Amino acid sequence: MGSELSQISNVMDEQKRILKQKESECRNLLTASPSNDSGSCKPTWDQILCWPETEPGENQILPCPGYFFGFDPKQNATRFCHDNGTWMQWSNYSECYDSLYATVTEPFTGALNDSTLAAYLPVVTDISRAGYSISLLSLLLAFSILASVRTLRCPRNILHMHLFASFIMRAFVILLKDVLFVLGVGLPSNLVERSGRYYFRVPAEGTIWDCKLVSSIWQYFMLANYSWILMEALYLHNLIFSALFSDRSSIKVYIILGWGLPLLCVIPWIVCRIYIEDDLCWTVNRNKIVFGIIFVPIAVSNIICFILFVILVWVILRKLRSSVCEETKIYRRLAKSTLVLIPLFGVHYVVFLGFHLYSEPESTTEMVALFINQLFTSFQGFFVALLYCFLNAEVGTELSKSCSWWSRRRGRAGGGRGGGAMNDLV
């Protein structure tokens, strides 16, 4: 047994030595070759083969390297050059050995060994899971309360229920993706583990719709959540400026926009992914233009929300100075509610907006920003359920009435009083 392990170890060491030598030869060749700005795919090393410069739209074909143990040098390996002059992420070695899958040579665990991500990632991941789990449970309870109490079914609370639903689906999809995906890159069937490192593999024909579907659904509900935060901000703005303290305005437009606007972004994103950046499980963002289809609407939505809330607070505070005593109490309650909602819906996203431009944190400062961002984002659903339901005086009063009614119906003496810590007028 010991001799067999020794032989395996020697074979692996020899393989590593050969690959390191071939990589060095490729690097020297790339350095010596003149730069060419013709728009073609540049020569590159994929940790197995040295791929030469290739014209856009062409499929480069090279013999399978005989120095890679297990490969048949009589067969061919291929790699596609996109029309925009960038290589397809994975190299097709499916013909080099007897398997239905080709392994991408880029390991996805490399970043964990070369940055502060290795030390912080487990903590950030645990906080994110805990936050989204707590948010999911609290939102389900809050949604059930608003849906079950008939007297709470006013337009304002119906909008809140849609907001809860967007947070519920966002938390659910994120937790589902966290369970299903390995390293956030793909499903277990899309990855292969070798010597502690994960590599991506795809069918020879390049079609992996299972994980791409999960990624598309995830993007939709992420956008839907931001969209419904914007709808709440617009509704509050219109409530103050158009029909102060009135719930009679139609909410059909808000519902259509809240669930429809994300489709206007996700559908073009899917099309661009298919024809421009059809790499991996659509979880890695390399093309800034394609990534901008998702990022720009989120950024614009966050900025609009922040501006709307700042305007609302300014208007409310101005009215406080000129209103009579009875109206002052009403405006003070509304000001308190709005001031609480600012860090939840505006400041947090605006402060960390620039952070989302970085796909791989490289410094301790960025990791601290990631920690705080995940802390606020994952628990945001819980805070929303707390403010809109559990601490809402109207909800507490109606629940108290319902409990008293059931107590009287059952012939028991009852009638405790319910209430909340704050009255959310929005």
**What Å distances lie between residue 343 and 159, 244, 351, 396, CA to CA?**
20, 23, 10, 24
The whole domain housing 30 covers 2-99
**Same domain, residue pair 75 and 218:** no
Residues 16 and 163 in one domain: no
Asked if residue 158 and residue 282 are part of one domain, the reply reads yes
Q: Over the stretch 63-108, which tens digit does the pLDDT of each residue have?
A: 988 887 667 788 888 998 988 888 887 788 877 765 444 444 444 4
Q: Specify whether 86 is located in the same domain as 126.
A: no
The confidence score (pLDDT) of residue 364 equals 62
223 and 79 share one domain: no
Residue at 35 is within a domain: yes
CATH of the domain at 344: 1.20.1070.10
Task: State residue 340's pLDDT score.
Answer: 62
Asked if 18 and 53 sit in the same domain, the reply is yes
The radius of gyration computed from the CA coordinates of the chain, to the nearest angstrom, equals 28
Examine the domain organization and report whether 6 and 75 are in the same domain. Answer: yes
Average pLDDT over the chain, rounded to an integer: 75
Would you say residue 108 lies in a domain? no
Pick from 36, 65, 99: which residue ends a domain? 99
Q: Is residue 197 part of a domain?
A: no
Closest Cα partner for 198 from 211, 214, 181? 181
Residue 421 belongs to some domain of the structure = no
Query: 134-170, pLDDT tens digit by residue?
Result: 999 999 999 999 888 888 888 888 999 999 999 999 9
Contact of 350 with 303, CB cutoff 8 Å: yes
HEC assignment per residue over 41-95? ECCEECCCCEECCECCCCEEEEECCCCCCCCCCCCEEEEEECCCCCECCCCECCC
The per-residue pLDDT for 417 is 41
Q: How many CB atoms lie within 10 A of CB 207?
A: 10
Give the chain's length. Answer: 426
Q: Which amino acid is at 286?
A: R
Nearest residue to 424 via CA among 337, 330, 344, 328: 337
Other CB atoms closer than 10 Å to residue 110's CB: what's the count?
Answer: 11
Looking at the fold, whether 141 and 62 belong to one and the same domain comes out as no
316-356 per-position pLDDT tens digit: 777 666 655 555 565 566 666 565 666 566 566 766 665 55
State the pLDDT at residue 183: 74
In this structure, is residue 425 part of a structural domain?
Answer: no
Q: How many domains is the chain built from? A: 2
Residues 60 and 139 in one domain: no
Task: Identify whether 104 is part of a domain.
Answer: no
Examine the pLDDT at 232 and tell me if it is beyond 50.
yes
Which has the closest alpha carbon to 273: 209, 356, 179? 209
Domain of residue 52, CATH code: 4.10.1240.10
Residue 299 is predicted with a pLDDT of 87
Which structure tokens are listed for 387? 């403010």
Query: Considering only CA atoms, which of 291, 312, 344 is closest in space to residue 167?
Result: 344
Residues 70 and 169 in one domain: no
Tell me, what's the pLDDT at 135? 95
Strand partners, 199: 107, 192
The answer to the question of residue 202 being in a domain is no
Amino acid at residue number 160: H
Q: Is the pLDDT of residue 6 over 70?
A: no
Q: How confident is the model at residue 249 (pLDDT cuts 50, 70, 90)?
A: low
Residues 129, 257 within the same domain: yes
User: Are 375 and 270 found together in one domain?
Assistant: yes
